Amino acid sequence: MAAGDVVDFEIPEAYVVEAGAEQIPLDVIYEDEDLAVINKPAGMVVHPAPGHYTGTLVHALLGRGGDWSAIGGVSRPGVVHRLDKGTSGLIVVARNDVSHRSLSAQLKDRSLSRTYLAIVRGRVKADSGELEGPIGRHPQERKRMAVVASGRFARTRYAVVERRRTHTLLRCDLDTGRTHQIRVHLAALGHPVAGDSEYGGREEGLDRPMLHAWRLRLRHPRTAAEMSFEVGPPEDFGAYWSSVE
């Protein structure tokens, strides 16, 4: 800190964490004594938060039994990274603190890679590109993020998978992991994610952003073996892409 610095902070709403075990079915892609890879459905919140006290991924993990890492605190056992409520697809969780630290370090040095599929509005002209722009809280709407000068460095790489007249299917790779990063960067490009009402992608008949965490690559925390997982998008994603012109 130095004289003249401006500190921007928010005081979160106080709430009681309800992180008890619940018997919620999960699509487990892989699991061992150190980690688990889950195919999270759209609509499931990752951890308890105001307005979401039950039915989260954390409640489902506790319902599976066994140990989970405690580094994230009592409300986030096992949680190494997050997916937005409306985003479907792959998420890795840690069974112990050693695995959590390893996976967090891989996120930081980008050896843990995440690739998404996104249906965006409009025809993206370039076949591929990099989107850079610091991301922080929107200056007026504090629940949203935005590209702002005071934000944290963020970079998203994208490539066109297929074009339609009104929409484009993209593959997006994260070089950083800021909140709402892909959604914010694509909106700034002028091609918001279809169904993303927060960032200009509102579409009739869609109740969530068409964003899917398709591929996850990492090193196993114990063995250092390279691991790669892929899972196709859910039915609503494919059905919507088939319906656009």
Which residues form the catalytic set? 84
> Who's near 19: CB < 8 A, 6+ residues apart?
47, 48, 58, 59, 62, 74, 75, 77
C-alpha distances out from residue 197 to 49, 105, 193, 206, Å: 21, 33, 9, 9
Beta bridge partners of 219: 226
**Beta-carbon contacts of residue 167 (< 8 Å; ≥ 6 apart):** 119, 120, 121, 122, 123, 194, 241, 244, 245
Identify the H or E element spanning 128: strand 128-132
CB 186 within 8 A of CB 146: no
Q: What's the rounded Cα separation, in Å, for the pair 113 and 144?
A: 25
